[in-house]
Chains A and B, each alone.
Chain A
Amino acid sequence: MKDITLRVSRYDPAVDAEPHLEEYTVQVNEGARVLHALHAVHDNHDPTLAYRYCCGSGQCGSCAVRVNGTPALACMEEARDGMTVEPLDLPVLKDLMVDMGPVIAKIARICPAPDAGLPAKEEIEAIKPLRDCIECLSCVSVCPALQVTEFAGPTVLRQEMRLTLDPRDSGDRITDAIEKGLFYCTTCRRCLEVCPKEINIPGKAIEKLREIANRRGLTLPRHQEVAKLVQDTGRSVAWTQPTFLEQVPEVIEPDGPVRGEVGFFVGCMFNGRVPQTALDAMEVMKRNGIRVIIPHDQVCCGSPLIRTGQTSIIDDLRRKNIEAFASRGIDTVMTICAGCGATLKNDYETPFAVKDVTEVLMDYGIELPSKLDIRATYHDPCHLLRGQGISEEPRIFLREAVREFVEMPSQCCGAGGGVRSGVPEEAKALGAKRDAAVKETGADVVVTICPFCEFHIAECTDVPVKNLVTILLEGYRKKDAERDSA
């Protein structure tokens, strides 16, 4: 047995104006779960503590709570000293008990056709990954789209896809899915991150439903324009100034000795909309002895099309891009766009390694810049944090590059998944939330690594938004200026 102290959110709407945290010290066994700590509070401190539980083995989905802010099943998550246990971010009935009924009621029921027979093995295998849901509602509680739209919730859309895949079902699930907010999902993958069953709802449900919607001609008009642009120009973004590729040679040699070599996958945003950031990155590479090879025959990675279900020309894009780099014998392809990086890593099978710029810089090590005299915060791009599992590297560089680094709670900015173009009011509302979070930190600059986030957040806040590579370059310039004046 051991003692642990935990803080538990208590709230009785009959008497409390708002929830408050109560601290308890309880005895638990070695290896106890959060649920057992709650039992200890209930049994030995306050029997009126309201919390749900049932199976105790991660299968019924009754006991999801937030542990230190993150959803988890109380029966599976290990109890730790100092933890804070709060209800999911859903309407609270009492203490840790939330109102699950209204969400569960939105989850569609199968309508089997009268003559429905046994599905084939392949059909069953396709449904299974979407069938493990235990309706704990963790995904619903964290979904950013839900905060600003009528989106029914990730698991509700999961069920629409599960039913679409079932030959026995007779419902029109695509129409239902669109009504339930199919185009509201930013594909930020926060739902996947908190799902105790690791169900890939964005990839296996949302994007697939959008694909079927596309085949039925139900893709949003703005998304269709993007697809047309890619088809006509090979690029998903129209350029307003000389493109990055027009401004650079195919090989950029470093200033000093060559310490390494990477291919650079530019991406449409850097190429056409914000080329200066990519040019800044080239300066950083040069300074750190990394040769950059830039095949000019590369095209759009296809991300804006995959996220919006417009996959008919994807194979062609994939082939062109892989060939552009493979034919030049490149081992490592670097991306600076989080969306391109996640797509190349997750939606491609490449004969070369794909690395985010921060991974490349971390691998080779870099010259330290002078610290900029600013307080900076960092916005995690969804496609970097969850799409590529990268959170530490950018922070390590940032701590070296600025006077003060402050954290900001991570949440999708609203630019992804075709939402910025397709549902601009949602993107704007999520952007406004980012603005508020930025202001909360008191930062002088918001740093990020994704050009979509950078561009979108810059529109939603008056605080300057910069790419990490630009910050590094500014630090080098400051260092040079200091040296010159010394």
Chain B
Amino acid sequence: MVLYNALTNKMLVDEIVDAHVLVIGSGGAGVRAAIEASRYGSVVLASKTIAGKGGCTTMAEGGFNAVLRDLDSIEVHREDTLSGGAYLNDPALVDVLVREAPERLRDLVRWGAVFDVTDDHEVAQRPFGGQRFPRTCYAGDRTGHEMIMTLLDRLDATDTQIYNEATVVDLAKDENGAVAGAIALDREGRGILFRSDATVLATGGGTQCYDISTNSAAGTGDGFAMAYRAGAELIDMEMVQFHPTGAVYPYDARGRLVTEAVRGEGGLLINAQHERFMKRYDPERMELSTRDLVARAIATEVLEGRGTKHGGVYLDVTHLPAERIETRLPVMLEQFLAFGVDIRKEPMEVAPTAHHIMGGLRITPECRTTIPGLFACGEVTGGVHGANRLGGNALADTQVFGKRAGEFAGKSPERRGRVDEDWIKAELRMLDDFFEGAISPAAVKKDLKLTMWNQAGIFRNSPDLATALTSVRRLADRRLFAASTANIPECCTVRNMCTTASLIVRCALLRPENRGAHVKNDIDVVTWEPGKSPYGHTYVSLEREGIEEREVAA
């Protein structure tokens, strides 16, 4: 096929790769999808980073929720998840999550994962917020790292071809409008065209568009943006989880995740007036309330002047035996020691940090998106976690839906259409334009992150959101400049961050109620009893946007 082939310094596709299934993303969901898809045909996995080093699974600390004990039940896990999600979750997806999580955990154990084990020779579980049973399985506080290492071992046993440090720029479609692959850039900025019968989007989340975030540098919302541009519908993008406990200093470490396992192991939240303030917000569950509630409690304490001088509250484990901290929370201990705080002897200082996007691509239980040929799994999808995700449900989500996406993509029929050459030309021209840009992507990114944190953060209001939308759109219109071909992926990433931010703000403007993580200080905003809200998902696509209304039993 003839590809765009023009004057020197123009982008062109150097490599064409064909596969039955293309998986985009190398976190827990992507790798799990590739493992499963490889049972049905050839698989190519495109990873923006070196596989295993990118994504947020590697960084996930706390654990994996799965019902494993007789005293626990699928029904209780289901109810905890729905109630934690303020009943905005898609019940069919929740059913799948809680039913299949135990078997997906057992897959990992079979494949060699080193989860902690009890004296009774069972996978150990710890309590996490918003759950009535301690069902969070863990490997110390490096659970996600353990999972990704295990998954990569397993992936290695398949014929999956991995493209490391290949940044997917856009999804490619055929003349019928079905996704037929994607166009990517390698480390040097050289083009690669992937052609596939089915494509799995597993690009993770995007809270890097906030100034303070727990996400890895790869959490830039690329999948939300690419799918949106390709015409897919996204839901509930306003639902951004602010993790209650992120580091607050030094400045550059702000937002770094302090795992919920710290509270699971008995950590106490205390304000600058030595008060265990959670008793005023959720006297029953205290520190182990749901994340949305704890995050707002901490933010309120700080806003009302009861915070520390660094703008946080204390999270204290000094009452726990040192040995327990060393074995259960080794990563926390090590990270804080690196910044001069020995958590065995002094409290941590923490404040909320943007952590997880509950919203994302609308999917069916078979992980089908609203456009043919495109499957999605993991954080890039919406509906599983509703308006607030329970700690420990994300890692479970990656495995349950990763497997499903791989399976149903693998079972897809052969593609009949052809990738549109004009589209490729236009795409390469778009990339070329970055050489003619005017502003550095770093400058736009900085501006965007502050806008989102200040105007679309934990507490929102309609005027601020409207201003944010104007600002984000203005930033999205700036012409980004690439200093070399190797800088083009960075331009694409910042473009995706702007798109993701605009989707969040647009959906936030669409929801007229307080629900889960979405709270507005507007005078006319309504808060319903959980489960009684007449509203369903917000939705947004190239073609339409709005909010679903639903019948609620009186």
For residues 226 through 257 of chain B, which have their beta carbon under 8 Å from a beta carbon of chain A? 249-253, 256-257
Tell me, in angstroms, the Cα distance from A61 to B53 when the chains sit together.
7
B159 at the interface (CB under 8 A from A): no
Known: A47-B483, A55-B58, A56-B216. A62 touches B157 (CB 8 A): no
B487 at the interface (CB under 8 A from A): yes
B207 → chain A, closest Cβ, in Å? 13
Residue-wise interface mask of B (95-123) relative to A, using a CB-CB cutoff of 8 A (1 in contact, 0 not): 00000000000000111101111110111
Q: Are A93 and B440 in contact (CB under 8 A)?
A: no
A421 at the interface (CB under 8 A from B): no
Residue-wise interface mask of B (322-363) relative to A, using a CB-CB cutoff of 8 A (1 in contact, 0 not): 000000001100110011000000000000000000000000
Residue-wise interface mask of A (115-147) relative to B, using a CB-CB cutoff of 8 A (1 in contact, 0 not): 010111100100110011011000000000000
B213 → chain A, closest Cβ, in Å? 10
Size of A's binding interface in residues, CB under 8 A? 52
For residues 40 through 68 of chain B, which have their beta carbon under 8 Å from a beta carbon of chain A? 49-50, 52-54, 58-59
Please tell me which one of the listed residues A47, A56, A59, A120 contacts residue B217 in the complex, with CB atoms under 8 A apart: A56
Known: A55-B216, A109-B153. A135 touches B52 (CB 8 A): yes
Main secondary structure of the interface of B (DSSP, over half): loop
Q: Are B117 and A101 in contact (CB under 8 A)?
A: no
Q: Are B111 and A112 in contact (CB under 8 A)?
A: yes
Tell me, in angstroms, the Cα distance from A413 to B21 when the chains sit together.
52
Residue-wise interface mask of A (48-88) relative to B, using a CB-CB cutoff of 8 A (1 in contact, 0 not): 10101111111111100000000000001000000000000
Contacts of A61 in B (CB 8 A): 53
B276 at the interface (CB under 8 A from A): no
Contacts of A128 in B (CB 8 A): 114, 140
Q: Are A31 and B252 in contact (CB under 8 A)?
A: yes
Q: Are A118 and B54 in contact (CB under 8 A)?
A: no
Tell me, in angstroms, the Cα distance from A104 to B49 when the chains sit together.
14
A200 → chain B, closest Cβ, in Å? 15
Please tell me which one of the listed residues A31, A36, A59 contacts residue B59 in the complex, with CB atoms under 8 A apart: A59
A33 at the interface (CB under 8 A from B): yes
A259 at the interface (CB under 8 A from B): no
Q: Which residue of A lies closest to B440 (CB)?
A: A47
Residue-wise interface mask of A (39-53) relative to B, using a CB-CB cutoff of 8 A (1 in contact, 0 not): 000111011101011
B164 at the interface (CB under 8 A from A): yes
Q: Are A62 and B440 in contact (CB under 8 A)?
A: no
Q: Are B119 and A31 in contact (CB under 8 A)?
A: no
A458 at the interface (CB under 8 A from B): no
A168 at the interface (CB under 8 A from B): yes
A391 → chain B, closest Cβ, in Å? 22
A29 at the interface (CB under 8 A from B): yes
B92 at the interface (CB under 8 A from A): no
B156 at the interface (CB under 8 A from A): yes
Q: Which residue of B lies closest to A42 (CB)?
A: B442
Please tell me which one of the listed residues B59, B118, B150, B164 contacts residue A60 in the complex, with CB atoms under 8 A apart: B59
A23 at the interface (CB under 8 A from B): no
Tell me, in angstroms, the Cα distance from A93 to B140 when the chains sit together.
35
A219 → chain B, closest Cβ, in Å? 29
Residue-wise interface mask of B (208-219) relative to A, using a CB-CB cutoff of 8 A (1 in contact, 0 not): 000000001110
Please tell me which one of the listed residues B54, B112, B115, B139 contacts residue A168 in the complex, with CB atoms under 8 A apart: B112
Please tell me which one of the listed residues B156, B442, B490 contacts residue A109 in the complex, with CB atoms under 8 A apart: B156
Residue-wise interface mask of B (150-175) relative to A, using a CB-CB cutoff of 8 A (1 in contact, 0 not): 10110011000000100000000000
Tell me, in angstroms, the Cα distance from A50 to B490 when the chains sit together.
12
Contacts of A246 in B (CB 8 A): none
A253 at the interface (CB under 8 A from B): no
Q: Are A54 and B218 in contact (CB under 8 A)?
A: yes
Contacts of A30 in B (CB 8 A): 250-251
Contacts of B58 in A (CB 8 A): 54-55, 59-60
Contacts of B114 in A (CB 8 A): 119, 124, 127-128, 131, 166
- A44, A76, A104, A118 — which one has the most chain B CB atoms within 10 A of its CB? A118
B404 at the interface (CB under 8 A from A): no
B437 → chain A, closest Cβ, in Å? 11
Q: Which residue of A lies closest to B56 (CB)?
A: A55
B484 at the interface (CB under 8 A from A): yes
Tell me, in angstroms, the Cα distance from A94 to B52 when the chains sit together.
21
Tell me, in angstroms, the Cα distance from A52 to B153 when the chains sit together.
23
Residue-wise interface mask of A (2-38) relative to B, using a CB-CB cutoff of 8 A (1 in contact, 0 not): 0000000000000000000000000011111100100
Q: Are A62 and B335 in contact (CB under 8 A)?
A: no
Contacts of A111 in B (CB 8 A): 157
- B53, B109, B249 — which one has the most chain A CB atoms within 10 A of its CB? B53
B146 at the interface (CB under 8 A from A): yes
Tell me, in angstroms, the Cα distance from A109 to B442 when the chains sit together.
38
A330 at the interface (CB under 8 A from B): no
Tell me, in angstroms, the Cα distance from A104 to B162 when the chains sit together.
13
A100 at the interface (CB under 8 A from B): yes
Q: Are B252 and A132 in contact (CB under 8 A)?
A: no
Contacts of A116 in B (CB 8 A): 110, 112
Q: Are B53 and A121 in contact (CB under 8 A)?
A: no
- A43, A50, A60, A94 — which one has the most chain B CB atoms within 10 A of its CB? A60
Tell me, in angstroms, the Cα distance from A32 to B252 when the chains sit together.
6
Tell me, in angstroms, the Cα distance from A28 to B252 when the chains sit together.
9
B486 at the interface (CB under 8 A from A): yes
Tell me, in angstroms, the Cα distance from A216 to B255 when the chains sit together.
51
Contacts of A29 in B (CB 8 A): 250-252
Tell me, in angstroms, the Cα distance from A61 to B51 when the chains sit together.
12
Tell me, in angstroms, the Cα distance from A62 to B330 when the chains sit together.
20
B187 at the interface (CB under 8 A from A): yes
Residue-wise interface mask of B (58-90) relative to A, using a CB-CB cutoff of 8 A (1 in contact, 0 not): 110000000000000000000000000000000
Q: Are B217 and A50 in contact (CB under 8 A)?
A: no
A429 at the interface (CB under 8 A from B): no
Contacts of B256 in A (CB 8 A): 56-57
B389 at the interface (CB under 8 A from A): no
Contacts of A97 in B (CB 8 A): 187
B145 at the interface (CB under 8 A from A): yes
B142 at the interface (CB under 8 A from A): yes
Q: Are A31 and B251 in contact (CB under 8 A)?
A: yes
Contacts of A46 in B (CB 8 A): 483
B435 → chain A, closest Cβ, in Å? 13
Q: Are B251 and A124 in contact (CB under 8 A)?
A: no
Tell me, in angstroms, the Cα distance from A111 to B116 when the chains sit together.
20
Please tell me which one of the listed residues B110, B112, B156, B250 contacts residue A166 in the complex, with CB atoms under 8 A apart: B112
B125 → chain A, closest Cβ, in Å? 13
Contacts of A44 in B (CB 8 A): 442
Q: Are A32 and B117 in contact (CB under 8 A)?
A: no
Q: Which residue of A lies closest to B48 (CB)?
A: A54
Known: A47-B442, A110-B112, A118-B117. A59 touches B123 (CB 8 A): no
Known: A56-B217, A76-B338, A168-B112. A93 touches B59 (CB 8 A): no
Q: Are B216 and A54 in contact (CB under 8 A)?
A: yes
Tell me, in angstroms, the Cα distance from A127 to B139 when the chains sit together.
12
A31 → chain B, closest Cβ, in Å? 2
Tell me, in angstroms, the Cα distance from A65 to B110 when the chains sit together.
36
Q: Are A57 and B335 in contact (CB under 8 A)?
A: yes
Contacts of B487 in A (CB 8 A): 47-48
Known: A48-B487, A56-B256. A134 touches B59 (CB 8 A): no
A169 at the interface (CB under 8 A from B): yes
| Contacts A110-B150, A132-B330 supplied; 4 other A-B pairs, CB < 8 Å | A31-B251, A109-B153, A110-B153, A128-B140
User: Could you give 14 example pairs across A and B, Cβ below 8 Å?
Assistant: A29-B252, A42-B442, A48-B484, A54-B49, A55-B217, A56-B216, A57-B256, A109-B152, A111-B157, A118-B123, A119-B114, A120-B121, A121-B119, A131-B139
Closest 5 CB pairs of A and B: A31-B250, A110-B112, A43-B442, A29-B251, A109-B153
Seen from chain B, the residues whose Cβ lies within 8 Å of a Cβ on chain A are 49-50, 52-54, 58-59, 109-112, 114-119, 121-123, 139-140, 142, 145-146, 149-150, 152-153, 156-157, 164, 187, 216-218, 249-253, 256-257, 330-331, 334-335, 338-339, 440-443, 446, 483-484, 486-487, 490
Seen from chain A, the residues whose Cβ lies within 8 Å of a Cβ on chain B are 28-33, 36, 42-44, 46-48, 50, 52-62, 76, 93-94, 97, 100-101, 104, 109-112, 116, 118-121, 124, 127-128, 131-132, 134-135, 166, 168-169, 197
